Chains A and B, each alone.
Chain A
């Protein structure tokens, strides 16, 4: 632990705060009627995105999911362009054509969120194949939900990644629910990482709400993956505090379950306590970081609100290259 310098710790906290408060702003603006469509919030899951992406190199690659704001932010996305996209504005990452589920920044190594569960499993694996063919030294993190590990394409892709020893980490964020389906009803496994055995790859299960555990685990396995030791299935146990989407009455989960996860296992509060107790940071310093993060988010909301919608005459542009 003492090998991690303060800058890294501060950045982990800052990234998690950015993700949390960005999503709270999305939720609020949806309630205010500023957001037309929908979004899937990862509130409570910030540590997996922040910890894993901090542990890889800037030119490494990710693919994301429908619950992907955290991955985008951790990969360094511009909050203004993200918020504008969710608001459906022409200044957004996708000009308002993609929305929350399709934010991508290919030049920055974010190969895209995906509206299809496990839809990016093959794409991420292909990116890893290309990185290997091109000798670029890049590795790929393929973010997946627990539901994705029951999709056929993940199994096909993981098998090929194994036989070709591709530089990829399948990072399964097990947030306990596939929409409303509890994972225990969807699989007959204690640990989803046991699926790795079927492909003779390394499988690990960690506490996904402990950002340092995520960071240190991904630091270690990314070195192995980069060295050509083959793919890894990393299961990070976490919990989805909010509903599946912004339109979810949440009839399927026990009363108080989400609240308990938020009070007892919130990755951000846990990390703050650790940092203060270990003397890495003071409460006023945390307040200062939070203030700066909130200023950036406020500016993003303002930018989104003031941005124009795309002229409908351009609706059919960008279909073909």
Chain B
């Protein structure tokens, strides 16, 4: 095994899936020679050519519509939306068309598209390029929503998403792209709908998504020095949700803190908290608390940005509050 970055893991997965299945192709803005805004697809156009790595005009609705139409004929397009904020432009196509099509047609259509897009803040590009909007897509029937937090997970989850016969929203994170870890060279699948315990512990369960998993792991490590044993659980796919694994962990520890980067109101963890209440009520020793972004657009200036996005101090404080 060798160590590669999250971005390289995405690229390796795309390469392997395109090599294995000639129905798979990439489509998006500047995914070709430019290599994608975050360099994820650098070099792929030299390997696969313009037909497989399709550069498009800046036309987000059209891109997603075209991907849907191609998928109806058996293709497996992987769309790159340059920033997750931009998915609000083709929202109609994602929600009304891709998500509902199979149902509206009485089960006679398959829409195997993946929309990869980087979410999250932390690099100073302000409100229209930094929001975490994954919760929006939980609300549309027919979609799956994936949020990988490690190089290993991103490769296996992307492969499963490409092979899935349903539309998948695949949220990467800008700050995860350079993170490095061991990733097998050969292709492998991580099933959608399976959560993962990133660190075992016994005093409290922290459920975190995307880059917040990395922050929570750092806090867990720090607190272990204080004799606090934190279990960190990563849902990995937030729809379908592996409530079984999450509830099992919460029942074991009796306490839960939910951590996400998105705004406080209407975030994924609102829904998760209600699921935990439903499944774990008799096992809880404390109220379930949430550490989230503020109900505020992501500001530009570094200190302001840090004030909106949960940091390690807030996660630590949250854990201590739940522990009482």
Whether A295 sits at the interface, judged by CB under 8 Å, is no
Distance (Å) between the CB of B69 and the closest chain A CB? 2
Whether A278 sits at the interface, judged by CB under 8 Å, is no
Whether A25 sits at the interface, judged by CB under 8 Å, is no
Given known A-B contacts A98-B104, A122-B93, A123-B97, A104 and B70 have beta carbons under 8 A apart: no
Q: Are B66 and A160 in contact (CB under 8 A)?
A: yes
Q: Select one of A61, A94, A159, A320 contacting B57, CB under 8 A.
A: A159
Given known A-B contacts A98-B104, A156-B59, A130 and B70 have beta carbons under 8 A apart: yes
Distance (Å) between the CB of B242 and the closest chain A CB? 16
Whether A312 sits at the interface, judged by CB under 8 Å, is no
Q: Are A160 and B70 in contact (CB under 8 A)?
A: no
- Of the listed stretches A43-51, A111-119, A232-240, A267-275, chain B binds A111-119
Given known A-B contacts A127-B73, A160-B57, A319-B141, A95 and B107 have beta carbons under 8 A apart: yes
Q: Are A159 and B165 in contact (CB under 8 A)?
A: no
Q: Are B104 and A94 in contact (CB under 8 A)?
A: yes
Interface members, chain A 92-148 (any B CB < 8 Å): 92-98, 102, 104-107, 111-112, 114-116, 119-131, 133-134, 136
Give complex CA distance A130, B112 in Å. 13
Give complex CA distance A105, B17 in Å. 30
Contacts of A98 in B (CB 8 A): 104-106
Distance (Å) between the CB of B89 and the closest chain A CB? 9
Contacts of B184 in A (CB 8 A): none
Given known A-B contacts A119-B92, A133-B51, A125 and B102 have beta carbons under 8 A apart: no
- Interface 0/1 of A154-172, CB less than 8 Å to B: 0011011001000000000
Distance (Å) between the CB of B251 and the closest chain A CB? 28
Q: Select one of B57, B59, B65 contacting A126, CB under 8 A.
A: B65
- Interface 0/1 of B88-129, CB less than 8 Å to A: 000011001100011111111110100000000000000000
Distance (Å) between the CB of B115 and the closest chain A CB? 13
Whether B64 sits at the interface, judged by CB under 8 Å, is yes
Give complex CA distance A149, B32 in Å. 30
Distance (Å) between the CB of B239 and the closest chain A CB? 10
Contacts of A133 in B (CB 8 A): 25, 51, 70, 75
Given known A-B contacts A156-B59, A156-B62, A123 and B69 have beta carbons under 8 A apart: yes
Whether A318 sits at the interface, judged by CB under 8 Å, is yes
Give complex CA distance A320, B92 in Å. 19
Distance (Å) between the CB of B282 and the closest chain A CB? 29
Q: Are A126 and B71 in contact (CB under 8 A)?
A: yes
Q: Select one of A97, A130, A159 contacting B69, CB under 8 A.
A: A130
Contacts of A163 in B (CB 8 A): 57
Q: Are A152 and B61 in contact (CB under 8 A)?
A: yes
Q: Select one of A61, A95, A320 contacting B106, CB under 8 A.
A: A95
Q: Are B59 and A129 in contact (CB under 8 A)?
A: no
- Tell me the nearest residue of chain B to A113, going by C-beta: B104
Q: Are B101 and A125 in contact (CB under 8 A)?
A: no
Whether B67 sits at the interface, judged by CB under 8 Å, is yes
Q: How many residues of A contact B (CB 8 A)?
A: 47
Contacts of B144 in A (CB 8 A): 320
Given known A-B contacts A127-B73, A160-B66, A92 and B108 have beta carbons under 8 A apart: no
Q: Are A157 and B96 in contact (CB under 8 A)?
A: no
Given known A-B contacts A125-B62, A152-B61, A321-B166, A106 and B69 have beta carbons under 8 A apart: no
Given known A-B contacts A159-B57, A321-B165, A130 and B74 have beta carbons under 8 A apart: yes
Q: Are B62 and A319 in contact (CB under 8 A)?
A: no
Q: Select one of A96, A104, A131, A157 contacting B109, CB under 8 A.
A: A104
Whether B68 sits at the interface, judged by CB under 8 Å, is yes
CB-defined A-B contacts under 8 Å, sample of 23: A61-B73, A94-B104, A94-B105, A97-B106, A121-B62, A122-B63, A122-B65, A122-B69, A126-B67, A126-B77, A127-B70, A129-B66, A129-B69, A133-B25, A156-B65, A159-B59, A160-B66, A163-B57, A318-B103, A318-B107, A320-B142, A321-B102, A321-B110
Footprint of B on A, CB under 8 Å?
61, 63, 92-98, 102, 104-107, 111-112, 114-116, 119-131, 133-134, 136, 152-153, 156-157, 159-160, 163, 317-321
Q: A93-B108, A119-B93, A130-B72 are in contact. List 7 more A-B contacts (CB 8 A).
A: A61-B73, A115-B96, A122-B63, A125-B62, A156-B61, A159-B59, A317-B107
